[in-house]
A and B are shown apart, each in its own frame.
Chain A
Amino acid sequence: MKLLKAGICLLAMMLISGCWGQINFDQLTVVSAIGLDPAKDGMVRVTLQLSNPTLPVAAGGGSQQRRPYVNYDAVGVTIQEAVERIQHQAKKSLFFPQTKVVLISEQFARRGLDDTLDYFWRETNQNLNSWVLVSRLPARQVLDKAMELEPVPSEEWRKYLQGDWKRPLQVDVQMYQFLPRLNQIGYQAVSPGIGPFNASGKTDIMEIGDTAVFKNDRMVGWLSGEESQIVNWLTGVSRRGSFHTDFAKEESVSYSLNSIRVKVTPLIRGDRLAMMVRIKGEAEVLTATLPLHFGTEQAMLRDTLNKQVKLAVEDTIDKLFVNYASDVIGFGEALHRSMPSEWKKRKSNWDKELRQVDAEISVSFRIRRTGLLQ
């Protein structure tokens, strides 16, 4: 009797291997990037970059002539429909959980995203950790033309966006952060942009720079690298940066900024909303094109730095709140956190409120090092 029970248990263990639901690796294709473009009549063109894994060299894979990736595209009313059409072309089971990058073309972003992106909310196999990029060219072209060091371009982009070192001038956002912010008035979505470095030739190196600003689910504009850096500081994502101060006669001093602490506090003055921004940090001189005397000129350098940073921050906030009327630095959420009753009152007119915000910015950097080893 015991033997019978043991036998049944062992037999049951065979069920664990999942043989009946198996999909072998050669029947899968890994989707490494999804590209979204607009198509006519409000439809969406989905491009999938499928990577073709090469066998390791030891197994004889080194000399294989295989394309490292291939792009398929199809048009559909929803992303789901387009993906089903691509399934016919791809002839293998599409494996989504390893998606590295989702490319949204600028045209599509400006048309309006929300309904289409519902797919990413619901589909359980989607990778919520994939990185979102907005491409200046149609996504299909970017995926076709991209030439990177890695055989599969989206892998290179993912490594770039994941790395920490380039952080100052670049925002980065993953799908799980991007999706809810499309509907959040108090903290709108941003996304890094990607475009070709030279807009010519069959293959191109892609440059990830600039930031696309969204208002609700539509894209409204771009921010330059320096402005994205300021957005990173104000949202607390980055605590480092670089800044370039200009002096008379085209001289300049550039600094590397560290340990930046930013405090954004909403205040109510009478009936008006004010935003107090306090930025503190340390600066280190990187290069100077004019001869500097640190003993005597330190105060002047510091004041110039502080003044110019303040100006840059003011300009960025102006551009965001007045031109784009989009709260990508999370000021609304900051108000929500500190004064929930005020937020409830002002939430419905948040566009108008943003335009009327008084921004009081105070910047104080301390110049610590001169960059010379003396």
Chain B
Amino acid sequence: MRLDGVLALRTGAVIAATVATAVLLSAALSGLKFEQKLGEIAASRLTVIADEMRRRVEYGLTLGLDLSELVDLQAQAERAASGGEILGVEVVDDHGIVLFAADRNAIGHPSPLAKPLEHAGWAADGTLRERIDGDVLVISSGVRNSFGQTVGEVILRSSLAGLRERVAAVEHGLLADLLALVGIAVIATFAAVYFVVQRGGGRRGLAAGTAPLSVVQDRLTHGIAEADRALDELERELDAMALPKAALP
């Protein structure tokens, strides 16, 4: 009985540990995947805004105006930046100088966000580029003139803090549920393992698979006797060969 208990406890502990790890790993994977997907949706929403701004800029360029001459862009930038969680919208020229921005103080200065495409951290998709700096998502859309030359960029910055707060709140609630689930799973595992060990595979089950002691003893005796016979045979052969010294040539 003691052996069955030890067996059930140890095997139950192994299975319970695996189940708990698998549950937490599954939840962590789900969390990461969902958070990533949520981020993608948020980014795609902001991309729509940046892309629309770019289209308007390019429409202006087709009229033959220079980028710096599209003065209505200032109002558009301010309007676009009025959306919740959007920190700023800038239109920069091909040297990275801010031409229009929701933050008027930035105008005329080089934008720290206007970097070459190969700059580390940017994920590029066509003319769109995306980067996450801490809690800030930066989306940049290249502006091209009628000849296909890149003449500037529309850069949009948005805060991810709100999204992350909402995710953290959900994860907090989820963690409590998961711990409860792990607890139930562990108890269920121990119960199931104890049942299996007791009913089928415990000491009784193992004893059932092992022959009775007398049979084991018989098998051992039989095996040893077989070896003894082979050894006897060889011994006889060797004895027959071990002739007296006088008989040797």
Bind each other: no
